[in-house]
Homo-oligomer: A and B are copies of this chain.
Amino acid sequence: MFKAIVDADTLRTTLDSVSVLVDECKIHLNEDGIEIRAVDPANVGMVDLELDASAFESYEADGGLIGVNLSRLEDIAGMADKGQLVQLELDEETRKLHIQIDGLEYTLALIDPDSIRQEPELPDLDLPARIVIEGADISRAVKAADMVSDHIALGVDATEEHFYVDAQGDTDDVHLELTRDDLIDLEAGDAHSLFSLDYLKDMEKALPKDAEVAMDLGQEYPVKLHFDIAEGQGRVTFMLAPRIQSD
């Protein structure tokens, strides 16, 4: 059983966070909210998303699991105007999801969850550095790095107490430094890892406007990005595996 009503913007933000990595996903319809975990086909980027029941206008579920085509669901959510409510109801018999938006009914065929790539376990890493940064600063760093390279180095200098971004192109370089004052928070520990810019660009697209992003970093370790959605009633964690440094 699953029946819920949710604000269209909340639904869109939720779907966007996952669709930057995968086309299809499993959604756990838990009693206390939904959960989505997914990993991209290359096993480089992962997402773990929770949206609490309290993020919905109304929510009833008893622990089911469905498989959905994300871009199709995004198209439907895109039919709603800002602030409109989207009603979701699972038909257990037909394995279809009935979606209603102000008189408009959409019947979405679900995907067999077993046919969808297995869900990842996001490893519990003990990373030495954590910064809290405005999403806009991530956007700026990613855009600048993209002018010169396909890779981006993210690091923290524990001595100088700053977070930095480095991108080295064939002829040109980009460097960005943000001190404790430029950041929302900084727990300094030496960290430096190289990442694929394509993945980070995709993850950046999923950041809500005005997002505060907590970033955990290590030495040639994955980076984790944590941010809230749905006014704190939902949480997203992205994890991105590092590239081997090529010096």
Contact = CB atoms under 8 A, between A and B. Distances in A.
Interface in A133-147: 140-141, 143-144, 147
A140 B103 CA distance: 11
A178 B107 contact: no
Contacts of A148: 106
A75 interface: yes
Contacts of A104: 140-141, 144, 174-176
12 contacts: A79-B147, A103-B177, A103-B182, A104-B174, A105-B173, A105-B175, A106-B144, A106-B147, A106-B172, A107-B172, A107-B175, A108-B172
Interface residues on A, range: 20 to 34
Nearest to A104: B176
Interface string A82-118: 0000000000000000000001111111000000000
- Protomer copies: 3
Contacts of A159: none
Given A79-B147, A104-B141, A107-B172, 12 more contacts: A72-B147, A76-B147, A79-B140, A104-B140, A104-B144, A106-B144, A106-B147, A106-B172, A106-B174, A107-B173, A107-B174, A109-B172
A108 B103 CA distance: 48
Nearest to A165: B104
A161 to B, nearest CB: 14
A37 B104 CA distance: 34
A168 to B, nearest CB: 9
A171 interface: yes
